[in-house]
Amino acid sequence: MRTPHLLLPTSLLLCGIVALTEDIPPGYYLSTIPSPPGWARYPAINNRGQVVFAVRADPYNADTSELYLYENGQVQQLTLDNVRDDFPDINDDGTIVWSRADGPGGWMQIAMLVDGQTTILTSGSLHHFAPRVNAAGHAVWYRWVGTGCAGTDADVMFFDGVTVKNISEQGYSNEAAKLNDYDEIVWVRYYDCEPPWQSDIMHYVGGATTQITYNRVEPQRCDINNAGQIAWYEGFDDQIIVWDRGVLSVLTTWGSGLYMSKNGGFIAFNRWHEDSQTWQVCIHHAGEIFELTADPHWNYDGRPNDQGETVWHAGTPFVVGLGCLRRFALGDLNCDRAIGVLDINPFVLALIAPATYSALYPACDAALGDLNQDGVVNVLDINPFVVALGAAARSE
């Protein structure tokens, strides 16, 4: 069984470890997610800025792993049950799915939290790992069977809101499943019976499964967005490939492990630096690659939302916290993390002279003036901007 992510231990609370870097997209800033002492891992962020993650208090005891939710600067503990709670994901409705042991040291089942009520979707003597949930509350994950060559057989399981079914072919190790909001599902199918091992990317749509890679070298860590584009990493030469309706393109020849936003066109991935022996997090958008981190720590497995806000593991090989790329709030045109009268002049500039605005505020983005979120900054944003100023003043 392959681990779904790179794993690192920690035993301390990590805060403020993400160093500032110049390679940040305009309109964003670096931050951290506070977490309790322990092995913080597997963060996921939705479009409301909520972040769900797991913390293992004792790195040597899986049953000490609990779930936490970060929202509006506050951390809430979601589980306290003395069993392993791991691999969480969250959608924009706040529905959370994760792998939860059915007892101390028990079999990992799939749990779903909706409006404060937890439902267990699976049962039996098999492990269920790494669920993902879409906007409809449908979920996909892999079930480790442990038979076959090298004991690696695994199935991809799909919950359509009513029933759970196996959608993969048996006799392979089917892992790392992801889905978009239209129930298109991708995963990696490994074949371990003959060395060297082989893998392919599988694509499930409307009840039919298609193999989309042939004669590629170690394709893995795939994802799919709502446009139906599929990306994966090829382990032999560190290429990241994007598949778009059968056409392949190379996103980078220096990257690994990736996640895609459902919308917005963001792809986060890892880069290994041999000279410093560190992983760093990058994000690709609109043809540009930004290396978000450039410090002596390990930063890896970034997950973006549709606004490009991204969360990742951040730390040393022995102390791991959670790094975060945040977008400045709409209306914060001077990018001081507050909306107020100091934003009036920058707003006017963004409205009438965006080039001048960009020159004066290079860390900002004129799109922060699009308060009615219609895709353009114009006079229709003036009233919403005034409303935002009033709301900020009343909250002081």
Backbone φ and ψ for 147, nearest 5 degrees, come out as: -100, -170
As a whole number, mean pLDDT of residues 154-172 equals 97
d(CA 158, CA 135): 14
pLDDT at 174 over 70: yes
Average pLDDT over residues 174-184: 98
C-alpha dihedral (281, 260, 221, 181), degrees to nearest 10: 150
> Considering the chain, what is the average pLDDT of its residues?
92
Around Cβ 89, how many Cβ atoms within 10 Å? 22
User: Could you tell me the two tokens for 329?
Assistant: 């709030």
Is residue 331 scored above 70 in pLDDT?
A: yes
Q: Report the alpha-carbon distance of residue 139 to residue 87 in Å, rounded.
A: 13
Q: How do residues 184-207 score in pLDDT, each as one tens digit? A: 999 999 998 888 889 999 999 999
pLDDT value for 295 = 87
Mean predicted confidence (pLDDT) in 289-295: 94
Instruction: Using pLDDT thresholds of 50, 70 and 90, give the confidence band for residue 318.
Output: low
What is the model's pLDDT at position 12?
Answer: 28
Best CA proximity match to 99, nearest among 51, 153, 143, 138: 143
Q: What is the CATH number of domain 28-327?
A: 2.120.10.30
* Cα R_g (the chain), whole angstroms: 21
Predicted local confidence at residue 239, as pLDDT: 95
Q: Is the pLDDT of residue 19 over 60?
A: no
Residue 352's nearest CA partner among 330, 371, 379, 328 is: 379
User: Would you say residue 2 has pLDDT above 60?
Assistant: no
Check: CB of residue 239 under 8 Å from CB of residue 233. Answer: yes
Is residue 7 over pLDDT 60?
no
The predicted pLDDT at position 208 comes to 97
- 358, exposed or middle or buried, with CB in 10 Å at 0-12, 13-18, 19+? middle
Confidence at residue 297, expressed as pLDDT on a 0 to 100 scale: 87
The type of residue at 125 is S
Q: How far apart, in whole angstroms, are the C-alpha atoms of residue 10 and residue 347? A: 44
Question: How does residue 17 score in pLDDT terms, banded at 50, 70 and 90?
Answer: very low
Q: pLDDT confidence of 304, banded at 50, 70, 90?
A: very high
Spatial CA neighbour of 154 closest among 128, 126, 174:
174
Domain extent listing, the chain: 28-327, 341-395
pLDDT exceeds 80 at position 18: no
Contact 213, 200 (CB under 8 A): yes
Q: What is the mean pLDDT of residues 48-60?
A: 95
The runs of H, that is alpha helices, within the chain are: 344-352, 354-360, 382-395
345-394 pLDDT tens trace: 999 999 999 999 999 999 999 999 999 999 999 999 999 999 999 998 88
At residue 320 the predicted structure's pLDDT band, cuts being 50, 70 and 90, is confident
Q: What's the average model confidence in pLDDT over 107-132?
A: 98
